[in-house]
Amino acid sequence: MQRELILDEFQNTMRHIAAAVYAITTTVEGKRYGIVATAVSSVSFDPPSLLICINQDASVHAPLMEADIFCVNVLGLANRDVADCFMAKKGEDRFEIGEWADQMGVPVLANAQSSLICKTVDRHSFGTHTIFIGELIGAQHRDNAKPLTYYDRRYIDISAAPDQVAG
Ligand SMILES: Cc1cc2nc3c(=O)[nH]c(=O)nc-3n(C[C@H](O)[C@H](O)[C@H](O)COP(=O)(O)O)c2cc1C
């Protein structure tokens, strides 16, 4: 298969996989940095750990290379405004929307669905991205939250029609 065709099919495939939306944040020398991301996965329960994949061209990349700690804020439907603000603004201005608290030296979104604070334990460069592996050092979760989900290049509410699921 031709490279362009494979890439095309890959992008179409990924577009049709519903994904949770995260605001990944860190602080370096008192300055906050953040990015909206979907490339996040749990890695292991022992130790509790997860990975994030960040484009090396993204403004948060250099700070993440420098920082020891980052936070994966799992966004709920109520945090759509935060996702929009992160995409519309740059640098510190990304934190204009939402109530951000400083916990363990990183920005944590007070009303996120969950917040997972990680210590960076490994970094791997692959292609255009760096995979950061983080070991959990702090976590909080809200049971009643509804997840913000990205599907087919737009945000959707997967909690809207749960009884329509087959099986
Ligand atoms: C729903 C969504 C998911 C995204 N997921 C990722 C991701 O997992 N990793 C990544 O590096 N960029 C991801 N991006 C792109 C970054 O959010 C965006 O390119 C970045 O904020 C721009 O970089 P800047 O900080 O240099 O302006 C995603 C964007 C959207 C809208």
For residue 145, pLDDT over 90 is answered with: no
Model pLDDT for residues 58-116, shown as the tens digit of each residue: 999 999 999 999 999 999 999 999 999 999 999 999 999 999 999 999 999 999 999 99
Q: Which atom of ligand 1 is nearest to the CA of 60?
A: 25
Atom of ligand 1 nearest to the CA of 33: 25
What domains are there in the chain, each with its CATH number?
Answer: 3-154 (2.30.110.10)
Report CA-CA distances (Å) from 89 to 12, 54, 60, 71.
Answer: 27, 18, 13, 19
Amino acid at 167: G
Place of tokens 């403004």: 59
User: What pLDDT does 167 receive?
Assistant: 63
Res. 1 pLDDT band, cuts 50 70 90: confident
Residue 167 C-alpha to ligand 1 middle, in angstroms?
Answer: 34
Q: Are strands 40-45 and 106-109 parallel, antiparallel or unpaired?
A: unpaired
Is 85 close to ligand 1, i.e. is its CB under 6 Å away?
no
What is the arithmetic mean of pLDDT over 15-23?
A: 98
Ligand 1: residue whose CA is nearest its atom 7: 37
The pLDDT tens digits of the residues spanning 150-162 come to 999 999 999 886 6
Identify the CA nearest to 62 among candidates 33, 101, 23. Answer: 33
pLDDT tens string 29-50: 999 999 999 999 999 999 999 9
